[in-house]
Chain A
Amino acid sequence: MLRRRLNRLFGRDERKVDSRTIYVGHRPCPATEALIPPKFCDNRIVSSKYTVWNFLPKNLFEQFRRIANFYFLIIFLVQVIVDTPTSPVTSGLPLFFVITVTAIKQGYEDWLRHKADNEVNKYLVTVLEDGRRACKESEKIKVGDVVEVVEDETFPCDLILLQSSREDETCFVTTASLDGSPTIRWSVAVYSGMETKMALNYQGKSQKRSAVEKSINAFLLVYLCILVSKALVCTTLKYVWQNRPGQDEPWYNQKTQKEKDTNLYLKMFTDFLSFMVLFNFIIPVSMYVTVEMQKFLGSFFISWDKDFFDPEIQEGALVNTSDLNEELGQVEYVFTDKTGTLTQNNMEFIECCIDGFQYKYADSGTELDGFCVTDGPVNILQQKAGREELFLRALCLCHTVQVKETVGPADLGGFIASSPDEVALVKGAMKYGFKFLGMESKNMRVMNRNNDVETYELLHVLNFDPVRRRMSVIVRTKSGDTMLFCKGADSSIFPRVRQEEVDKIRMHVERNATEGYRTLCVAYKLLSREEYDQADTGLREAKLALQDREEKLMAVYNQVETGMSLIGATAVEDRLQEEAAETMEALQGAGMKVWVLTGDKMETAKSTCYACRLFQRSTELLELTVRTLVDLGRKREVRLHELLLDYHKRAVQDAPPIKAGVTRSWSSANQDYGFIIDGATLSLVLNSSPDSNSSCYKSLFLQICQNCTTVLCCRMAPLQKAQIVKMVKNCKGSPITLSIGDGANDVSMILEAHVGIGIKGREGRQAVRNSDYAIPKLKHLKKLLLGHGHLYYVRIAHLVQYFFYKNLCFILPQFLYQFFCGYSQQPLYDAAYLTMYNICFTSMPILANSLLEQHICMEVLMDNAALYRDVAKNAMLGWGPFLYWTLLGVYQGLLFFFGVRFLFSNPALQDNGQVFGNWSYGTIVFTVLVFTVTLKLAMDTRHWTWINHFVIWGSLAFYMFFSFFWGGIIWPFLRQQRLYFVFANMLSSVSAWLIIILLILLSLLPEILLLVLRKPRGPHSRQVLSTYSDTISFKC
């Protein structure tokens, strides 16, 4: 562990600085050395973007880098410079509004980051200064300072170990969070502040953009094209029309001298710009701010959800970014860590079996249970007791566990081991009275049942490796006997022991395995002096071999580990997280593919997969591991290629083509495939030598994986996890990926995936800090995705479509009006309406809808995982739905304009014979428009809370009130009182009322029809409605 960390410190740093000369403890620079003391940065961590001083300029700069905002700025400037139909206020005000709201949101988020930074920077650390200990704030540490780190403390920066409190001058570092060391020691600060590895990692974290945003940009492009073509059409027609006799300059509307003098092409250009300004409202300026507000406010519902509250840690869910809410509803691949995520990483010794007798430890309170209680002749009993002790001694000796030095005297024993099940076994032996006390200069000390301390000289450790799948130790007892204890997977032990012993135990092992326990068999062998000498020389030679050391060692191992006698087997349980299986089943039911990425051994991981029901009995496993590759002794690449082709044939070619919208029941009727690969093989697949066609491997591999319901990747390095995520992320169709993990080794994949979820486990906070969302337990993932994610996606998709739609039918009449005003850029609506349409009249209902809408209520969504498939693959933001909304907008826009146009064929609309003018025309169209788009939203709303009622009817009432008010007073600041009493006069006309009602109804008619006729066809909705009608009517 330490080595890895030091490697990280030194090995991979060449790129940034070649070397660093550090004066430990800030000794004065030796004068002889012609070295300028280098300047290093201080230890301040800065993740915040702004300070109080640079907030305004920097934030404005950032905001105007966004293409839409920049566009609106340009429009605004055009309005200021060129003589345009609308005043700069009409686009300036919404832009100002948008910029302000976004700035407030970003300011708030940055304030949170400042708070988090301060927490880290003000953390007190002990520093050696002039030979004395001094307390210092973490941010004040300078490179070269000598720092003391106490057990379980976090490193304030990158350090080099100088001294440890342990006798052997070693220390243990938990990489789980890159913090927590069990020993007190001194160390010198090497990299500080923003130059630490962690900070460098942070900087690599790029802004995640959701798929919805990509859709928005695509739609924006379409609308931009519509806008430009509208402006072009109008400009062209204007000059065509003006060429007709008498139309260019009728006597009643003569040009000014300036206009006459202007160059024709310049005039065309300014005309084009004017049309752009007139129609620019088609690009919804306020959509971005509404989307942002929706995301920001919407994310509170996640942190507020009491279902995510875990009483154990007293915390709920945490939202680190609100930009990805909707992405939670689009997940196709789930990458999950195993240890600590699927399982609790809490190994427990469940039972063992010695010579075919099963021993189950029932209660930790009682000392011995099941041991030596079976009836039988005394000699058998004694023999049995002997075997038991042998078994327990084997458990105590055959491992690589180290005893943790504890501060407290009476400790139940903290153990440190590379694998938690070794600890479980040692602890299991302890429960039965055999306690491993630790190593004392090559001697292993064990306290037996009679509280006597036995010492064993450790001669050799035959390490575990995934091919052999077993490990052994050779020890010498006090009495001089040399013994070999071996433990390993059943498949690797059974062939090496006597058959009759196997028969006694096999049944137990198999039963344990099917129960999801991790089973290990334990065997031993007495070595004669000659045997030992032979093994000893063999091992020493092999260890010193320069070539093929691995193979030679393996050969010796295999030679030594023969002819053993089987003592028994153990069963260790790695407890699953609460509802892990249900959660995984729900995710798979929702059409997500689950990949388990773990650093663990294959057997362990496999049993977890079975326990989580990721693999089922019927699942056919395709294995691609070192073990399957090594089989025939052929070149690995050849075998790999063969296997890949074979699996590809089975899983891809022979499988029936997957149709869209398959349900779980349909797919389970077919063969399920599970794929298993390990780290070594994966690197072979991904980085195979250039002569072999690696891209071919990769695509074969991907295709196989895509057809498997579950993929298990074991023995993964953290970086490989990210590699896998990246590979899937970038494959065809760019599926949305989600990574979930709890430890620091998951950070890379959390950062890599589209959505990163951290579990607030016991293993530090690294994962949580780097995640986008953090939840206390794995089981919460189900509600987060199926409930919140689905709803967020539907909400935001509807929001986006609605925004484009409402602006299309807003501006289309204005475009059509150009044909009736000589292409003179005459606005149809008053400036106040142009300005207020998006920020006042129609903004609140859609915002409320996009925050509160539950088209299907939460319980139903959670109970029917298949509903998640309905919105998969960005279904609501595809070109189909977009076209539908666009056509709807066009239809309504045409209707609004021409409906009123035919009414105005006789503009005498009042019973006093007076006529209406152009502003009345625009006001009628605008009234129809506001009512139609609001009622359209009302029709889309399936979940009417009082807030929805309030904003929808409130918006309409506000529109009426505003129009009265706006037209009821002579506003002194206005140059032109265009709307003076226009609205009131409109309302006094019966014909105006009738046309408004008619047009609203006619606009909504296709929608109503669709709503009524479409419903019965959806298989889901009917099923849901019939099954859950109670839920709908009472709960929601």
Chain B
Amino acid sequence: MMKEELETTNRPDNTAFTQQRLPAWQPMLSAGIVIPGFVLIGLAFIGIGVALFITSQNITVLEKDYTGVETTSDCYKCSNPSDKNCTCKLEFSLSTLFEGPVFFYYGLSNYFQSQRSYGASKDEYQLSGDLDYFKTPISACSPYQYDANQNPIVPCGSLANSMFNDTFKLYQIVNGTKKLVPFDGKGIAWWTDYNIKYRNPSVTPLKNAFNGTVKPSFWSKPAYELDTSDPSNNGFVNQDFLVWMRRAALPDFRKLYRRITEGDYARGLPAGNYSLEIAYNYPVLSFGGRKKVVFSNVSWMGGKNQFLGIAYLVVGSLCVVMSMVMLIVYAKFKFPEDD
């Protein structure tokens, strides 16, 4: 009795786990699985690639640089930074219908929104409507924390301060007269940014919340007057502001400015001559940057991007070629395990 007890206490447990004998699946990559698998994957990738490529091909893009570096450009006159309130024109014509909905982007290059100090230079508590941070913004906002008179800047920080402030008006030239193409400024920022992440302080009128604060030095209007036409598009929950605040990943980027979805242009921009009136405010030449506007329509895959389709085609064909190579190799060295 005693002995049996001893044995049970000392003897190792005879379980599958302790004896390293857990039932296990041992995958065997044999030619019979790999070659058809590769062919299938390859074909699927080629299929997706073709779809992507065609989709991308069908997306129309119109890109226009308006920095005004070239003397021939109308915007050349505005490229002098001392020149305030300068407007210039960019004219183009469409030979066919630019299918809608058309998305209107502005693009900047050699602009490092991705810099760390730049990105960190904002106060998210302030931007979520916390009035305490209206009076004392965090130090990360420096040198845009307080102005010369020690008034707190709202919204503080380099990121907000440098908000893009060129404005655009698009006219279609119909029989020599300018017909305004209506822009839709809604839904250009992320829904969650507009509705949850960024909040105005719950003070009405909104202007009162900003008492004792100053607007960012670069801004021409305070935050609560960003959109005079739509009161719900002011303060921090302004679509343009939110688009700007979502930092671009790369130094050459584009940001959504407006959509063309209304009126006669819901189906797109018809063929004809167009004139884009630009209020040229944003200086980029000092750091060697460029500005451009982009008209584009989008598909299920987003904007035009040839890379993805080509990559899929290449990888897909690679898979097929490799399965061929494998087939040859396997045929040469007959495999005993396949017997």
What's the interface size class on A, roughly? 35 or more
CB-based contact B11/A309 at 8 Å: yes
Question: Hey, which chain B residues are within 8 Å of A858, CB to CB?
Answer: 20
Give Cα A792 to B300, complex, Å: 50
Contact assessment for B114 and A1013 in the assembled complex, using a CB-CB cutoff below 8 Å: no
Residues A425-480 near B (CB distance < 8 A): none
Nearest-neighbor residue (CB-CB) of B48 within chain A? A994
User: Please, which residues of chain B bring their CB within 8 A of the CB of A247?
Assistant: 287-288
User: Is residue B72 contacting chain A, with contact meaning CB distance below 8 A?
Assistant: no
> Known contacts being A309-B12, A908-B303, is A246 close to B287, with CB within 8 Å?
yes
Bound complex: CA of A439 vs CA of B286, how far in Å? 113
Cβ-neighbour of B308 out of A257, A903, A911 (below 8 A)? A903
Please tell me if the beta carbons of A917 and B247 are within 8 angstroms of each other in the complex.
Answer: yes
Contact (Cβ within 8 A) A970 B197: yes
A821 touches B112 (CB 8 A): yes
B119 near A918: Cβ-Cβ < 8 Å: yes
Q: Are A907 and B119 in contact (CB under 8 A)?
A: no
In the complex, what residues of A have CB within 8 A of residue B252's CB? 905
Which stretch from A17-25, A755-763, A972-980 is at the chain B interface? A972-980
How far is the CB of B21 from the nearest CB of chain A, in Å? 8
Task: Identify which of B20, B117, B286 gathers the most chain A CB atoms within 10 Å of its CB.
Answer: B20
Q: Which of B293-339 contact A (CB under 8 A)?
A: 296, 298-305, 307-308, 311-312, 315, 318-319, 322, 326, 329, 333, 335-337
Question: How far apart sit A852 and B196, CA to CA, in the bound complex (Å)?
Answer: 47
Closest to A248 in B: B287
Q: Cβ of B192 < 8 Å from any Cβ of A?
A: yes
Binds B, one of A534-542, A570-578, A833-841, A943-951: A943-951
Bound form: Cα–Cα A1022–B28 in Å: 13
User: Does A58 belong to the interface (CB within 8 Å)?
Assistant: no
Do B190 and A914 touch across chains, with their CB atoms under 8 A apart?
Answer: yes
- The reply to whether A908 and B20 contact each other, CB–CB distance below 8 Å, is no
Interface residue B84 (Cβ < 8 Å from any Cβ of A): no
CA distance A248 to B81 in the complex (A): 19
Which residue of A has the minimal Cβ distance to B336?
A1026
* Interface-lining segment among B170-178, B254-262, B273-281: B254-262
Q: Which residue of B lies closest to A247 (CB)?
A: B287
Which B residues touch A162, using CB under 8 A?
Answer: none
A304-329 interface code vs B (CB 8 A; 1 in, 0 out): 11101101001110000000000000
- Interface presence of A374 (CB below 8 A): no
| Assembly CA distance A1011 to B105 (angstroms) | 47
Interchain CA distance A26-B128 in the complex, whole Å: 83
A887 at the interface (CB under 8 A from B): no
Q: Is A987 at the interface (CB under 8 A from chain B)? A: no
Residues of A within 8 A of B117 (CB): 253, 824
Q: Do B124 and A903 touch across chains, with their CB atoms under 8 A apart?
A: no
Check: B143 CB closer than 8 A to any chain A CB.
Answer: yes
| Docked complex: A912-968 residues within 8 A CB-CB of B | 912-918, 920-922, 942-948
Note all chain B residues with C-beta closer than 8 A to A920. Answer: 249
> Please, how many angstroms separate the alpha-carbon atoms of A684 and B329 in the complex?
61
Is residue B167 within 8 Å, beta carbon to beta carbon, of the partner chain? no
User: Is A380 part of the contact surface with B, judged by Cβ < 8 Å?
Assistant: no
Contact A915 B12 (CB under 8 A): no
In the complex formed, the residue of B with least CB distance to A308 is: B12
CA distance A598 to B279 in the complex (A): 98
- What range describes how many residues of B lie at the interface? 35 or more
Complex CA distance for A316 and B283, rounded to whole angstroms:
80
Whether A1012 lies near B326 (C-beta < 8 A) is yes
Cα separation A844 to B202 with both chains bound (whole Å): 47
B94 an interface residue at 8 Å Cβ cutoff? no
Question: Does B66 lie at the interface of the complex (its beta carbon under 8 Å from any beta carbon of A)?
Answer: no
User: A907 with B248: in contact, given A251-B283, A824-B116, A1001-B41 (CB under 8 Å)?
Assistant: yes
| Closest partner residue, chain A, to B33 (CB atom) | A1012
Contact of A316 among B10, B111, B161, B243 (CB under 8 A): B10
A-B CB contacts (within 8 Å), total count = 263
Inside 8 A of A1002's CB, which chain B residues have their CB? 315
> Given the complex, which residues of B lie within 8 Å of A981, measured CB to CB?
190, 192, 197
Scoring A252, A899, A1001 by chain B CB atoms within 10 A of each residue's CB, the highest score goes to A252
Which of A826, A1001, A1032 contacts B315 (CB under 8 A)?
A: A1001
The interface residues of chain B lying within 8 Å CB-to-CB of A252 are 111, 118, 158, 161-162
Bound complex: CA A854 to CA B23 (Å): 12
* Closest chain A residue to B3, Cβ basis: A314
Q: Which residue of A lies closest to B119 (CB)?
A: A826
| CB–CB A918/B301 < 8 A | no
* B115 CB-CB contact with A under 8 Å: yes
Whether the Cβ atoms of A910 and B302 lie closer than 8 Å is yes
Q: Is the CB of A255 within 8 A of B143?
A: yes
Whether A549 is near chain B, meaning CB under 8 Å from some CB there, is no
B250 in the interface (beta carbon within 8 A): yes
Known pairs A820-B250, A820-B251; A306 contacts B14 (CB<8 A): yes
The answer to whether B203 has its CB under 8 Å from any CB of chain A is: no
In the assembled complex, the Cα of A946 lies from the Cα of B24 at a distance in Å of: 7
Interface presence of A303 (CB below 8 A) = yes
> Which residue of B116, B143, B300 has the most chain A CB atoms within 10 A of its CB atom?
B116
Q: Which residues of A contact B319 (CB under 8 A)?
A: 1005
In whole angstroms, what is the CA distance A970 to B124 when docked? 11
Decide: A916 and B249 in contact? CB cutoff 8 A: yes
Verify A918–B312 contact, CB threshold 8 A. no
Segment 31-48 of B: residues with Cβ below 8 Å from A = 31, 34, 41, 45, 48
Q: A917-B248, A980-B192 are in contact. Are A943 and B26 (CB under 8 A)?
A: yes
CB <8 Å contact, B302 and A1012: no
CB contact under 8 A between A943 and B190, given known A306-B11, A977-B197: no
Chain A residues with CB below 8 A from B143, complex form: 254-257
Please state if B115 and A943 are interface contacts (CB–CB under 8 Å): no
- Chain A residue nearest to B139 in the complex (CB): A256
Chain B residue contacts of A824, Cβ below 8 A: 112, 114-118
A994 near B301 with CB under 8 A, answer yes
CB distance from A788 to the nearest CB of B (A): 9
Restricting to B178-217, which residues have a CB under 8 Å from any CB of A? 187-190, 192-193, 196-197
- Flag whether A1036 is at the interface (Cβ < 8 A): yes
Give the one of B14, B23, B138, B247 with max A CB within 10 A.
B247
Cβ-defined contact, B197 with A245, below 8 A: no
Cβ–Cβ < 8 Å partners of B287 in chain A: 246-247, 250-251
Q: Is A822 an interface residue (CB 8 A)?
A: yes
Task: List the A side residues contacting B45 at CB < 8 Å.
Answer: 998, 1001
- The contact of A946 among B22, B34, B101, B329, by CB within 8 Å, is B22
With beta carbons under 8 angstroms apart, the residue of A254, A303, A918, A1025 that contacts B158 is A254
B334 to chain A, nearest CB (A): 10
Does any Cβ of B come within 8 Å of A616's Cβ? no
Q: Which residues of A contact B14 (CB under 8 A)?
A: 306
**What is the chain B residue whose CB lies nearest that of A85?**
B116
User: Contacts A253-B118, A916-B249 given; 5 further ones with Cβ under 8 A?
Assistant: A247-B288, A258-B142, A306-B11, A909-B302, A970-B128
Binding site for A on B (CB under 8 A): 6-7, 10-14, 18-27, 29, 31, 34, 41, 45, 48, 52, 101, 103, 105, 111-119, 121, 124-125, 128, 138, 142-144, 158, 161-162, 187-190, 192-193, 196-197, 243, 246-256, 259, 283, 286-288, 296, 298-305, 307-308, 311-312, 315, 318-319, 322, 326, 329, 333, 335-337
Binding site for B on A (CB under 8 A): 85, 245-247, 250-258, 300-301, 303-306, 308-309, 311, 314-316, 817, 820-822, 824-827, 852, 854, 858, 899, 901-918, 920-922, 942-948, 970, 975-977, 980-981, 985, 989-991, 994-995, 998, 1001-1002, 1005, 1008-1009, 1011-1013, 1015-1016, 1022, 1025-1026, 1029, 1032-1033, 1035-1036
Query: What are 21 residue pairs bridging A and B, where the CB atoms are less than 8 Å apart in the complex?
Result: A250-B112, A256-B143, A316-B10, A316-B11, A822-B114, A824-B115, A824-B116, A826-B116, A902-B307, A905-B252, A908-B103, A908-B105, A944-B24, A944-B26, A945-B22, A980-B192, A991-B302, A998-B308, A1005-B319, A1012-B326, A1013-B326
List of 10 A-B pairs having minimum Cβ-Cβ separation, nearest first: A908-B303, A252-B162, A921-B249, A246-B287, A821-B114, A304-B18, A918-B249, A945-B22, A250-B287, A913-B103
